[in-house]
Amino acid sequence: MTTSDQMLEEPARTLPTTQRPETSTRAADNNTLRSLGEGLRALLGFLLRPLELFRTYNLGSLQPDIIAGLTVAVVTLPQAMAYAFVAELPPEIGLYAAIVGSTVAALWGSSYHIQTGPTNTTSLLVLSALLAVASPGTPEYLAAAALMAIIVGVIQIALGMARLGVMVNFISDAVIVGFTAGAGVLIGINQIRNLLRLPMSSMPSIWQTIPSIAANLPGTHLASLAIGAGSIASLIIIPKISRKLPGPLLTMIGTAIVVAIFGLDAKGMRVIGELPRGLPPLSTLPALDPDFIRGLVTTSLALSVIALVQTMSIARSISAQTGQRLDSNQEFFGQGLANIVSGLFSGYTVAASFTVSAIKHRAGARTGIASVFASIFVLLALILFAPWAAYVPLPALAGVLILTAYSLIDQQEIRRIWRSNHGDRTIMLVTGIATLVLSLEYAVMLGVGLSIVTYLLHTSRPRVRVVLPSDDFRYFTPRPDRPSCTQLGVVEILGDLYFGAVSHIEEMIQENQKANPSQRYLLLRMYSVENCDISGIHALESIVRSYRDRGGDVYFVHVQRQVRELMQSTGSYDYVGEDHFLDPDDAIPYLFHRILNPAICIYECPKRVFRYCQNLPKRLDLACPPPDTDLPLDEVPTLAPRRLWEALHGEDPPHVIDVREPREYRQAHIPEAEHLPYLDLIKDLDQVSRDVPVVLVCEGGRRSTHAAAMLIARGTANVKVLDGGMTGWVSQRLLTAVELKR
C-alpha cells in the first residue's frame, strides 16, 4: 500500500466524528477530577503537618527546645521592634509579626531550625511598597502592611500547592548577597535621620534621601546623637566581653534607663512609647479597592520570591549540618500561612532570619517547637514589660539597625563571589547596584531574571566533547592531543537534551563532522543525558539522518531509561533501530568487526586508536607513490561528485575506476565504475589507458590520490580523483549500485 493510500484510509481507523467530542469531554473531566483529587490530598498533607510534628515529638527534646526558645526570644525582642522601625511601623507590629509568624511557620513549615519573623530585607521592601500607597503613621498605612502580608502569603501558598518549591534552585545565591548588601546600604543611610533626629521623613529613593540628610544636618539633635553613638559603641564592645550576652537587648535597656533618669524624653528625645499589652489583635483591613491592591501586588510578588529564596537558603545551610531532609513545598506552604495569619493579626510580612536562625541552631534547638516557646516568651515580655518600652529611645534603635545593616554587607562572601565565575559576579553586582538605584521590587526581579537567564545559558550549552580510549583502553576520556579514528567518532553529551540545548548540541556535532569528514560513523555516549523533550528527540533524529545521508550511521550507548522510554513512545527508537543501541562493553568490538571498513584501516588509516587496531596490519607503504614521483599529493586534480555525475551523463563520459577492495565495491559503488583494486592497479599502471579521461575513486580519497599521482608520473595526463571519494558521493545522495552476493 502506498503512503497516499494509507493516508486516505486513516480516518476509517478513528472513532466516528459524533463520538469524539463526548469521549474528549469525558477524558477531560476525568483528568480534571484526578488533578482536583491530587490537589486536595496535597492540601490535606500540608495542613496536617502539626499533627505529624506533635506525634513524633520526643519529650527528651523539651528542655533543649525551651532553652533555645528563651535564647531566641531575648534576641527577637529588640530586633522585631527595630525591623518594624525600618518599615516605619509601630514597634508592636514587629512583635506581633514575630509572635504569630514564628509560631505558624514552625508548626506548618519543614525545617526544624529556621526562625521566622520580621527581617531587614523584608522590612525594607515593605517600606518601599507602602510609601507608594499611604503615609507612615496613618491607619491606611497599617492596613496596607497587613494586606500586603496576606497577598504575599497567598502567593507563597500557591507556589507550594503547585509544587514549585524547586524554583528556588534556579535563583543564584549571588542575588541574595547582592540584594542584602544593597539593602544594608539603604537601611544604614535611611537610619541616619533617626540617629541624628533630623526633621525629615522617609523617602523612597536614595537620591532623595542623601541630599535631604545633607540639607538637614544643621538641625542635628546632640542628645540623640550621643545616645545613638553610645548604642553603637555598646553593640561593638559587649560581644568583645562575651558573645553570650544579648547586646541589642542590653543596649536598649541601658539607653532606656538613661532616658528615664535624665528625662531626655521631655527634652526632645524621641522614644518608642508605651506598648499595648495583650494578645495580637485582629487587623482592620481596607475595603477591596482594586487600585489599592494593584499598588501592592508587584512588590508582593518580588517580596514573596526573595523571602522564599532567603528562607530556603538558610534552611539548606543548616540542614547541611544537621542532616535533616527538607520539603521545599511544605516550607512554601508554612511561610505562606505564617504571612496570612500575621497579616490577619496586626503583623506584617515575615521570612526566615539569618542571624536568629543561626542563634536558634547554636542554642541547641531540636525541633520547631523551640520557635513556639520563643513566641510565648516574647508574648509574656510584651504583657509584663510593655510600660517600660516608653523610655526606649529611637536613636538607640537606629544605632542597632545601622550596625545590623553593616553586617548585611557580607564582605567575605562578596569577595568569594567576585573570585568565582563571571556569571555570579555579574548577578551580584547588577542586583546590588539595582537595589540602590531602582525600586526594590524591580531590583529583586532583575536579579531573579539574571539568575534564570544565566541558568538557561549554562544549560543551553552543555558540553559536547570528543573522547578517545585511555592508554589502557579501560575508559574514554577527552584527549585533544590525540588524533581521532578515520571512520568512527565517539562523542559524549554532558547535559540534558531539551529545547534550549539542542541547537548547541547539533552545532557541536556538525563541527566535528566538518573537522573529520571521513568519519561516516558516530557513537553517542549519553550517560549524562537525564532528561529529554521532543526537541531533543528531533535533534537526535536529525543527527542520525545527517550521518545516514553521508552513507554512515549513528549508534548509542548509556541511554538512560527515561530517555529510552521517550524515544520508544515517540517512534524515534524504531527510526534509529533497536540494533543501534549497544551494550557499552561490546560497542567498540561490534562496530570494529561488523560496521567499520577494514580496508580503510589497513590501507588508508595510519592511526591505532582502539584496542582492536593495535595488532591490525598496516599496509600504508603500498599506498605511497614511488620515489621518482615528485608531484605533491595536494596538487593532484580532483572532481566534485556533482560534476562527475553530470560528466557521466554527458556526451564524453570519463572512465571511472574504483580502486577499493572487493568487499567495499560490493557494498556500494558508482554504477558506471570499473572495479580495479588498488594493489592490482599499482602492479601494472599500463592497465589504465593514457588516451581517455580517468577518474579514480576510493572510500575517502587517500588510495585514489596516491594512485593518481603514480599515473600522472608515468605520463597519464587527464587523471582526476573523486573529491571525498564514495563518502562524498553518498553525501550528495547520488545513485549507487549494490552487488548482491551469489
CA dihedral 298, 302, 303, 307 (to 10 degrees): 160
Q: Is 701 exposed, middle or buried (CB count within 10 Å of its CB: 0-12, 13-18, 19+)?
A: buried
Q: CA 714 to CA 456: how far, in whole Å?
A: 62
Closest CA to 110 of 331, 272, 376, 325: 331
Please tell me whether residue 303 adopts helix, strand or coil conformation.
Answer: helix
CA dihedral 318, 322, 324, 327 (to 10 degrees): 0
Q: CA 698 to CA 701: how far, in whole Å?
A: 6
Please tell me whether residue 420 adopts helix, strand or coil conformation.
Answer: coil
3-state helix, strand, coil in the chain (%, to 5): 65, 5, 30
290-322 helix and 354-362 helix, angle to the nearest 10 degrees = 30
Element (H, E) at 720: strand 719-722
Catalytic residue among 532, 601, 605, 698: 698
- Whether residue 598 contacts residue 618, with contact meaning beta carbons closer than 8 Å, is answered with no
- Whether residue 497 contacts residue 532, with contact meaning beta carbons closer than 8 Å, is answered with yes
Q: CA 125 to CA 445: how far, in whole Å?
A: 12
Q: CA 414 to CA 562: how far, in whole Å?
A: 40
Q: Which residues contact 422 (CB under 8 A, 6 or more apart)?
A: none
The alpha carbon of 276 is separated from its chain's Cα centroid by a whole number of angstroms, namely: 47
Element (H, E) at 454: helix 440-459
Closest CA to 312 of 360, 342, 368, 357: 357
What is the C-alpha R_g of the chain? 38
- Whether residue 141 contacts residue 134, with contact meaning beta carbons closer than 8 Å, is answered with yes
The CA distances from residue 61 to 68, 319, 563, in Å, are: 11, 18, 47
Q: CA 56 to CA 166: how far, in whole Å?
A: 27
Place of cell 577494514: 598
Please tell me whether residue 238 adopts helix, strand or coil conformation.
Answer: helix
**Does the annotation mark 698 as catalytic?**
yes
User: What does 114-135 look like in DSSP terms, one character per residue?
Assistant: --EE--HHHHHHHHHHHTTTS-
Closest CA to 148 of 279, 13, 3, 297: 297
Q: CA 345 to CA 100: how far, in whole Å?
A: 8
Closest CA to 438 of 277, 206, 208: 206
- Whether residue 310 contacts residue 119, with contact meaning beta carbons closer than 8 Å, is answered with yes
In DSSP terms, 656 is beta-bridged to 695
Closest CA to 85 of 115, 117, 119: 119
Query: Which amino acids are annotated catalytic?
Result: 698
